Amino acid sequence: MELIAISDIYGDSKIVGELASRLDNKLCEDRIIIIAGDVANKLSSATYEKDANEVFSILRDHSAYVLFIPGDTDDKDLHGGFDNVISLDRSSFSVEIGGVRLGFIGFGGAPRQSLRKNERTSYVWDEGIIEQGIIVDLKIALEKASLPPAPDYIILVTHSPPYGIADYSTPITMREMLVVEEVSEELLPLISAPKEEKTSEAKRMSRSPRRLGSHVIKKFADFYKPDIHLFGHVHKQGGKLQTNEATQFLNISHLSPVPYKLTGRKYLRLEITRDRISQSFDSVVSKDLSFADFVETYL
């Protein structure tokens, strides 16, 4: 069985189409695609539902199932709209493919402390207030996913990282995402600026990085130990793998080239058998491109 895991798409159907073209080398019936949130952007797009449906429409034709959770930029009540597109938010899903049975559980949105103060997003929660509710919802989902026949693996999908695992960054707003290219252009002259000028500019623009993950999701994962925990949200940690005890934690940010063009377009491929799990991060960018062509095409 093959799992393709992505996150932070922001309604970019073009990049989703590029991913789909990379997946045509295997039967769809043997593949599940997982989206760990931010399917589209409700607050910055007047065509949010259309954007999300285009993403789902492309991916559903390249997999047996598309399992997703809404991220902080999504509508909390986002629906797949297709029979094989299923929300995992505060829910579960079990399936057997190729002799391997998987149980999926999920929780969407993001903790308020991972975003800037007064930042307007669609699906944000205060874990200090609803901690017990999160634990209860995830525990019920886990119990349902664990019903006989027992799964070979339990996979937890959240948008937020667990606290302290691949979550080290600075909060970035959607407004910042939209202007990041302009900021980059403004920084280009600094490459040739005097050293003292660079230092002054860097001090002016720097922000202290911090942990942005969820304490309550970490508490749940530490206690119930899912086999795999997939998440996104913190873009700068995309592509990070960490194994703690029985759980593989993977930050699968981010398929969209926004906000970081050089580190975006990323996806995770998991090959799962009853005996082992192998994982590799890849990019939709063609490996045959020269550096000059890459710069011209993508930057």
Asked, for residue 201, whether it belongs to a domain, the answer is no
Asked, for residue 184, whether it belongs to a domain, the answer is no
- For the residues 234-259, what does the mean pLDDT come to? 93
Six-digit token string for 85: 């597109």
Domain count for the chain: 1
Is pLDDT at 6 greater than 50 in this prediction?
yes
Among residues 42, 24, 30, 23, the alpha carbon closest in space to that of 9 is found at 42
Among residues 66, 113, 105, the alpha carbon closest in space to that of 89 is found at 105
Q: Decide if 33 contacts 63 (C-beta within 8 A).
A: yes
Q: Decide if 53 contacts 66 (C-beta within 8 A).
A: no
pLDDT, residue 182, reads 43
Tens-place pLDDT, residues 9-24:
999 999 999 999 988 7
- For the residues 152-177, what does the mean pLDDT come to? 84
Residue 66: other Cβ atoms inside 10 A: 26
Asked, for residue 181, whether it belongs to a domain, the answer is no
Residues forming beta bridges with residue 87, ordered by sequence position:
68
What percent of the chain stands above pLDDT 70? 81
The stretches of 86-206 forming alpha helices (DSSP H) are 127-145, 174-187, 195-205
pLDDT, residue 195, reads 45
Least confident interval from 67-71, 101-105, 294-298 = 294-298
pLDDT, residue 296, reads 58
Q: Provide the pLDDT confidence category of residue 176 given band limits of 50, 70 and 90.
A: low
Q: Provide the pLDDT confidence category of residue 48 given band limits of 50, 70 and 90.
A: very high
Among residues 49, 38, 77, the alpha carbon closest in space to that of 157 is found at 38
Six-digit token string for 291: 């550096």
Six-digit token string for 294: 């890459």
pLDDT, residue 187, reads 42
Per-residue b/e over 5-39, b at no fewer than 16 CB within 10 Å?
Answer: bbbbbbbbbebbebbbebbeeeebeebbbbbbbbb
pLDDT, residue 118, reads 73
Q: How far is CA 54 from CA 6, 105, 265, in A?
A: 15, 24, 18
Structure-model confidence comparison of residues 118 and 274, the more confident one: 274
pLDDT, residue 44, reads 85
pLDDT, residue 121, reads 83
Asked, for residue 162, whether it belongs to a domain, the answer is yes
Asked, for residue 266, whether it belongs to a domain, the answer is yes
**Structural domain for 218, as ranges:** 2-168+212-298
Is pLDDT at 210 greater than 60 in this prediction?
yes
pLDDT, residue 28, reads 86
Q: Report DSSP state, residue 160.
A: S
- For the residues 240-267, what does the mean pLDDT come to? 92
Cis preceding linkage at 194, omega within 30: no
Among residues 281, 296, 157, the alpha carbon closest in space to that of 231 is found at 157
Asked, for residue 183, whether it belongs to a domain, the answer is no
Asked, for residue 175, whether it belongs to a domain, the answer is no
Asked, for residue 195, whether it belongs to a domain, the answer is no
Q: Check which CATH number belongs to the domain holding 278 and give it.
A: 3.60.21.10
pLDDT, residue 181, reads 46
pLDDT, residue 60, reads 95
Six-digit token string for 41: 């952007």
